[in-house]
Amino acid sequence: MAADLLVDTRCRTLSTAVRQRIAYTGERYKGAHQEVQAHPGKPLIPAADTWEQALLETEFLHRGGELGSASQHPMGIVRIRPYPDRLTVVLDNEPYVIRYWVDRLLPVDSGPADEIRGICGLRYSRTGHHVRLYRQDTATAIDLTGFNPHWWDRAVDAAVVDARAQDATPCFTGATAPWTTAERDLHTALADTICDPHLGSRLLRRIRLTAFEGPYGGTDLWSHPAGRQRYDWILETLRGHDHSKLLALLTDPQTGVGLQLRRRSCYCEQAGMEDEGCTAVLESPDGVQRLLVRDLRWTVDEADLQCRTKYVTDRNRHAFSPWTEREDTRAVR
Ligand SMILES: [Zn+2]
């Protein structure tokens, strides 16, 4: 009897842990259950175990954090599967999402007057249904999946045509392509200014916290320098989250991002304040890392939805065409 009770308690505890992990990662129950069960006593959301892996994930988030309301999913990310040494990112199965990430991630040298666009040293290999991203000469990996892998090839081909049309040089052609001098110089220069990359990595590994049930959630996430050794991150959504729950999950001492709530202005439950946005400031205990959470609480009406649906349709139609050959498809925000 006592043994049955113990097993029952363990099952319920495991189930609770799995559901808590899913709130952060958006994984399917079976997959999350396997991971939690296989690693008893380990953190529910494993952290990146090296500085290089955390840095790659932070740059990934930094480059791609502005898809906003153009996607139903935060940054087009449907699910995350975190491992200590790598990260699996399941992307939305939409051509324009794949093109967005190709354009944002893969490094292109625009010449001496401009910086490298994309992530310095980033290369990729495609195996089956996965695209593996890694920084050349480092033990890093972000696996992209969930979409037709041939779309990746077509998006890359279009991006190469675009780069050359602008007299720019793609640095990523070939899985073993070495770092270019320009990539190495910029990466070295950035290394002096980048502070601890683990907050960005933790945010990416929990990005599904910002998922929205409606057709367009509008998660944006970006960062900017805020003095030496400090970056402020800003997480912005359009509408619809339970702010108390969101902040509790972000600041959970076991599974959160390692920050504490400092200030909060929340108008969700105040009559007459329906148009007011909510904000919260989170900080690390030493005050070095800061995250501003902002929900604009916009009302999305039928006209907005139709406009965004048209935008997505247009973007999908031209996703694999070089920009130089497209008709104008202006961004809708
Ligand atoms: Zn609120």
Residue-level pLDDT at 333: 33
Q: What is the CA radius of gyration of the chain?
A: 21
Tell me the per-residue pLDDT of 28-71, one tens digit each, with 9 for 90 and over.
999 999 999 999 889 999 999 999 999 999 999 988 888 877 88
- Given a contact cutoff of 8 angstroms between Cβ atoms, the answer to whether 117 and 62 are in contact is no
The alpha carbon of 76 and the centre of ligand 1 are apart by a number of angstroms equal to 24
The alpha carbon of 115 and the centre of ligand 1 are apart by a number of angstroms equal to 39
Fold classification of 198-295 (topology level): Beta Polymerase; domain 2 (3.30.460)
The alpha carbon of 266 and the centre of ligand 1 are apart by a number of angstroms equal to 4
- Given a contact cutoff of 8 angstroms between Cβ atoms, the answer to whether 19 and 26 are in contact is no
Q: Compute the average pLDDT of residues 112-133.
A: 89
The alpha carbon of 80 and the centre of ligand 1 are apart by a number of angstroms equal to 26
**Which tokens sit at 192?**
């002096």
What type of residue is 161? V
The alpha carbon of 15 and the centre of ligand 1 are apart by a number of angstroms equal to 29
The alpha carbon of 92 and the centre of ligand 1 are apart by a number of angstroms equal to 28
C-alpha count within 13 angstroms, C-beta hemisphere, residue 145: 13
The alpha carbon of 212 and the centre of ligand 1 are apart by a number of angstroms equal to 15
Kindly give the interhelix angle for 95-105 and 149-165, rounded to the nearest 10 degrees.
50
The alpha carbon of 277 and the centre of ligand 1 are apart by a number of angstroms equal to 7
Tell me the per-residue pLDDT of 256-303, one tens digit each, with 9 for 90 and over.
999 999 999 998 888 888 778 899 999 999 888 899 999 988 877 888
The alpha carbon of 242 and the centre of ligand 1 are apart by a number of angstroms equal to 7
The alpha carbon of 250 and the centre of ligand 1 are apart by a number of angstroms equal to 15
Residue spans of the domains in the chain: they are 51-191, 198-295
